[in-house]
């Protein structure tokens, strides 16, 4: 509880004590009773009256402060002192509950903000120097001591340790790292010092991107939030004018037409009750709070959602398409077999390594790792990378082609088919086929369970879109029990495939795509909901995505959907409950059947219940 909340709670308790005490003071003097009731009224409501004054001054009359001020001042003017004070008191109690609920949800965001490192230990010629992380350049070496946060992304060049990644991934189990491992900023070094060679500037680091995503999450509003904002904009003036009509027209009708007592005080009191009931606080406060709590709870679980509109879209997802490499598989490639013709296996691997020497593709890295010898770059005359196909270049005096069957067929080169499932890299020299290298990938540990969870949670169609060959794609989809697959897709082919899938969706349903590579960015952008693997994913994929999974675990997709659906259920519950109660009590008020306590419940009571219901969106442990 912060200082402001404590101060407001004290005001509420003091006013409540005075209100109870006044009931035990016997007096028949109206002026004394008025003074006694005005003391707790101003103690608990002075800020509401001041905000109402500012609203009138700024010509923004129709807000909840204006409604509360008019209703309570009107009740006191009619001699209903205790009801005027009670309305203000219970309204402030509701505001306090709302403030407490927002504070709770903000704690998750604040905890994530703590991942921001304050300094970096930069190694210089003069020793270790503490500098601002933004002053560290790519290629610098930094020392991370035990208990410190890693300030920038990079690769460990010395040391072994365990990292606490929970602030980023929601995963409580430490991650063991050693020399050569890639590490991301925001993690806490737990066991021993490590030296890291930085690979990104601070503004491009994981921690900076995470903070940027969180800070901008509330700017993207859902359709439900937009509806509530528009609803309140037109609803509040409408009920004010209706209350005015209720206070004037019935008594005038009684006086002019029926020639009877107009009972102005009775109808004015009914109009004031009508005003108290009509305040749309429950909707205006609880709906955004629900989304805010949902985004905060998801962030704590390692799922970053860029806005409530994406949360709403995710809740309607029935079809999910996946990339394969790095999404459902580890993306850690290893050379398993080499099939050669007239060259030796060592020579074939050497040409392949030289052809892939300038590429940063995972397959290229696996070939270079298997070759494990220095590369003489003077032997490389030219290299051209062909997206989705492979490499074309000149090594020594030989024209070399390295890639998939499509590349070979374009040059009329007949290939030898491999019966093993996996990635096949074909090699041709001077237009003659020389053999191929088989590269295997491993499924992620939770990949199969992730598909099972998705189907159990109402996902009716799962599809894999991959650039791998038919054989590999079929083997992976069979192992994971994915419904369909599209194989041998170039980046543009993936876009076309997803457009076809989007055209087949039903009304009020959405299609999600999950990917991690730079070639997935266009598809992620095209999907109704784009989901990126954050830890190992490319910057382009994370930038394009609507939702980022910080630990690359596909099982988190199901968790994100559960969070989204829970949030939307709470939103619909609050809308139905708030509007239903208000409509009933508004009708009762117009006919004089609603007492002021009913008005207080219809406003403050409904708001407190709706806010407490919204807090449930924070809970993700049981999902």
Active site residues: 323
Work out the number of other CB atoms within 10 angstroms of the CB of residue 241: 11
The DSSP secondary structure of 282-320, one letter per residue, reads: HHHHHHHHHHHHHHHHHHHTTEEES-HHHHHHHHTEEEE
Nearest to 535 by CA among 120, 171, 27, 193: 171
Cβ contacts of residue 139 below 8 Å, gap of 6+?
197, 198
Q: For residue 322, what are its two tokens?
A: 């996946």
- Cα–Cα distance for residue pair 405/56, rounded to 1 Å: 74
Cβ contacts of residue 432 below 8 Å, gap of 6+?
413
* N-terminal to C-terminal alpha carbon distance within the chain: 27
- Cα–Cα distance for residue pair 470/402, rounded to 1 Å: 19
Nearest to 604 by CA among 108, 87, 126, 112: 87
| Residues forming a β-bridge with 391 | 385, 402
**What is the 8-class DSSP label of residue 420?**
S
The DSSP secondary structure of 526-559, one letter per residue, reads: HSSEEEEETTTS-HHHHHH-SEEETT--THHHHH
Cα-based torsion angle of the residue sequence 519, 522, 524, 528 in order, rounded to the nearest 10 degrees: -160
Cβ contacts of residue 379 below 8 Å, gap of 6+?
354, 395, 396
């Amino acid at each position: 509880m912060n200082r402001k909340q404590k101060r407001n709670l004290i005001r509420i308790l003091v006013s409540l004590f005075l209100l109870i005490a006044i009931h035990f003071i016997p007096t028949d003097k109206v002026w004394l009773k008025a003074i006694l009731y005005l003391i707790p009224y101003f103690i608990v409501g002075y800020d509401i009256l001041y905000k109402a004054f500012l609203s009138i001054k700024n010509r923004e009359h129709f807000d909840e402060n204006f409604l509360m001020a008019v209703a309570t001042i009107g009740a006191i003017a009619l001699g209903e002192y205790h009801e005027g004070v009670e309305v203000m008191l219970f309204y402030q109690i509701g505001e306090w509950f709302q403030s407490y609920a927002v504070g709770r949800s903000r704690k998750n965001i604040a905890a994530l903000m703590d991942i921001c490192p304050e300094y970096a230990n930069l190694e210089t010629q003069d020793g270790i120097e503490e500098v601002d992380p933004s002053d560290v350049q790519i290629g610098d070496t930094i020392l991370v001591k035990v208990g410190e946060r890693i300030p920038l992304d990079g690769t460990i060049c010395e040391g072994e340790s365990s990292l606490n990644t929970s602030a980023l991934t929601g995963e409580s189990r430490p991650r063991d790292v050693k020399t050569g491992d890639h590490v991301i900023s925001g993690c806490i070094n737990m066991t021993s010092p490590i030296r890291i060679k930085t690979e990104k500037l601070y503004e491009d680091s994981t921690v900076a991107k995470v903070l940027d995503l969180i800070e901008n999450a509330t700017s993207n509003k859902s359709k439900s939030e937009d509806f509530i904002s528009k609803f309140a904009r037109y609803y509040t003036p409408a009920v004010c004018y209706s209350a005015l009509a209720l206070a004037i027209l019935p008594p005038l009708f009684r006086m002019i037409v029926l020639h009877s007592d107009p009972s102005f005080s009775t109808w004015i009191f009914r109009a004031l009750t009508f005003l108290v009931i009509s305040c749309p606080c429950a909707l205006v406060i609880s709906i955004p709070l629900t989304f805010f709590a949902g985004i905060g709870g998801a962030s704590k679980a390692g799922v970053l959602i860029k806005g409530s509109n994406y949360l709403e879209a995710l809740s309607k997802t029935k079809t999910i398409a996946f990339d394969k490499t790095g999404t459902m598989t580890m993306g850690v490639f290893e050379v398993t077999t080499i099939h050669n013709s007239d060259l030796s296996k060592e020579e074939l691997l050497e040409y392949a390594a030289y052809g892939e020497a300038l590429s940063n593709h995972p397959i290229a890295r696996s070939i270079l790792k298997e070759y494990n010898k220095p590369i003489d770059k003077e032997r490389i005359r030219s290299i051209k990378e062909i997206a989705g196909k492979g490499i074309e270049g000149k090594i020594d005096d030989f024209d070399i082609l390295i890639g998939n069957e499509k590349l070979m067929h374009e040059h009329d080169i007949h290939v030898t088919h491999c019966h093993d499932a996996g990635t096949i890299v074909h090699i041709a020299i001077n237009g003659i086929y020389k053999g191929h290298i088989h590269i295997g990938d491993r499924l992620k540990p939770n990949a199969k369970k992730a598909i099972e969870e998705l189907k159990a949670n109402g996902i009716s169609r799962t599809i894999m879109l991959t650039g791998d060959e038919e054989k590999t794609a079929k083997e992976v989809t069979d192992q994971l029990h994915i419904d369909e697959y599209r194989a041998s897709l170039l980046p543009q082919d993936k876009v076309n495939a997803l457009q076809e899938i989007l055209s087949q969706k039903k009304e009020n349903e959405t299609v999600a795509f999950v990917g991690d590579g730079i070639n997935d960015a266009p598809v992620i952008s095209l999907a109704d909901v784009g989901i990126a693997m954050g830890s190992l994913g490319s910057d382009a994929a994370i930038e394009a995505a609507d939702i980022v999974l910080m630990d690359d675990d596909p099982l988190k997709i199901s968790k994100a959907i559960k969070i989204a659906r829970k949030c939307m259920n709470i939103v619909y519950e609050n809308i139905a409950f708030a509007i239903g109660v208000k409509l009933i009590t508004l009708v009762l008020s117009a006919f004089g059947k609603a007492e002021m306590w009913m008005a207080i419940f219809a406003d403050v009571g409904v708001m407190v219940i709706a806010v407490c219901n919204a807090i449930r969106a924070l809970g993700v442990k049981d999902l």
